[in-house]
Structure 1
Amino acid sequence: MARPSRKDEILQAALACFTEQGVDATTIEMIRDRSGASIGSLYHHFGNKERIIGALYLAGTAQYAERLEHGFAKAGSAEACVKLLVTSYIDWVVANPDWARFILHSRGRVEAGEMGEALREANRLHFARILAALAEYRQQGVFRAMADNCFAAVVIGPSQDLARNWLAGRSQSELGACRELLAQIAWESVRANP
């Protein structure tokens, strides 16, 4: 396994600080101390705290998108693709709860900040890749007719809601234990009536 880059080390240190101290209370100095990076290295890679926040957000969402890309390459049916959207999300959240919590709470800040356009572009590309992976099945009439944004909400919305509650400690259910059920419900919700 490759050694993490200095940039990755800084991002992981920032995540640890944000988790322990909160995003607003964390300072550049805290991140520098935690990462062991020089102030010059930190500013070279990111420039300021807002860019660290944006980069951390984008890196986390890119990991989920990468899981999907690998999964779509192996999925052999519309059902497998829809279920993959759910299980990949849940698996990523369970494996990265601090990062997932950070992403859920930081979206508005990143969108409103100087990296907002980069986030919007990453989301646009991510959604386009999902639609491309499902396009043939949609053309074949495998799915119910619905707008793209409605389709996305029906498929991933329940998982995001449960993940949000699980991350906040408000769920009686273990998130990972619900992955197959939520994946099946997503599939049943969007497939065309047999």
Structure 2
Amino acid sequence: MANRPPSADRRSEILDAALACFLARGYAATSIADIRNRSAASTGSIYHFFGNKGSLALALVERAVGGWSGSSGDAANPDAVAELSIKASVAGLVRWGLANPASMRFLDEVRTLAASDTSLAEVSTLLARGHEAARARYAAFVAQGEVRDLPWPLAHALMLGPAYDFLRLATADVASDAADLLAIAAWNAVRAS
């Protein structure tokens, strides 16, 4: 009898297969059968780890957000000043996105879909919690006089919009200082005068 991979490895294999399927066919067009065929897992195994397709998407988003957070260093440090926090978050997104282009493409797609696809309600909730935490952090920076008092959607777009756009267009031959340049631009866009 062949050795089966540990559960964590099997779960990861299913997630990797789901990501590949979602990118190849799109989230909406991908079925559990597609994921089963790509992962060589049984349907029961997929449902053991993930209750449905939306749960697979949620796990991929959690993995992506964790990767971004892990690449962002001091961004989440509650004692970090605004400049350090904002620059670390943007640079972390860019570095993680360049290192994980498939996950970045999926995150970008699912952020849009989550607003209207009811199977992604948990993803929508997770993203909304993250946005609320970031909005509250920005409001604290406003109160401290570190950043301009801008409506949150505008501040968010100024800080992260260029990084997302860059990652949509980036190829393997990008400038090595792209993350730092985008981080500086994000800070300059919102810093207090």
TM-score range, shorter-chain basis? 0.7 to 0.9
CA RMSD of aligned residues (A): 3.0
Identical counterparts, % of pairs:
31
Shift of 1:154: 0.7
Residue of structure 2 equivalent to 1:157: 161
Alpha-carbon distance in 2 for matches of 1:174, 1:184:
17
Given the alignment of the two structures, is residue 109 of structure 1 paired with residue 113 of structure 2, yes or no?
Answer: yes
Consecutive unaligned residues in structure 2, runs of 5 or more:
1-5
Shift of 1:69: 7.7
Residue of structure 1 equivalent to 2:94: 90
Q: Which stretch of the first structure deviates more once superposed, 24-33 or 156-165?
A: 24-33
Shift of 1:156: 0.7
Alpha-carbon distance in 2 for matches of 1:111, 1:61:
18
What is the letter of the counterpart of residue 188 of structure 1? Answer: N
Shift of 1:54: 4.4
Residue of structure 2 equivalent to 1:122: 126
Change (3 A) 1:175 1:68: same
What is the letter of the counterpart of residue 72 of structure 1? Answer: A
Residue of structure 1 equivalent to 2:3: none
Change (3 A) 1:94 1:126: same
Alpha-carbon distance in 1 for matches of 2:30, 2:187:
41
1:58-91: CA deviation from partner (whole Å, max 9, x where unpaired):
4423443455586422863211011012111101
Shift of 1:26: 4.5
TM-score, normalised on structure 1?
0.78
Shift of 1:18: 3.4
Contact 1:10 1:31 in 2 (8 A): yes
What is the letter of the counterpart of residue 97 of structure 1? Answer: P
Change (3 A) 1:49 1:137: closer
For these two proteins, the number of residue pairs brought into alignment is 187
What is the letter of the counterpart of residue 46 of structure 1? Answer: F
Alpha-carbon distance in 1 for matches of 2:166, 2:143:
31
Alpha-carbon distance in 1 for matches of 2:7, 2:16:
13
Q: Which runs of 4+ in 1 moved over 6 A?
A: none
Residue of structure 1 equivalent to 2:50: 46
Contact 2:68 2:96 in 1 (8 A): yes
Candidates 73, 82, 85, aligned match of 1:81: 85
1:149-188 correspondence runs (5 A): 149-166=153-170, 169=171, 174=174, 176-188=176-188
Contact 1:15 1:99 in 2 (8 A): yes
Change (3 A) 1:65 1:120: farther
SS in 1 for 2:77: helix
Q: Which stretch of the first structure deviates more once superposed, 76-85 or 125-134?
A: 125-134
What is the letter of the counterpart of residue 122 of structure 1? Answer: L
Alpha-carbon distance in 1 for matches of 2:7, 2:51:
23
Residue of structure 2 equivalent to 1:22: 25
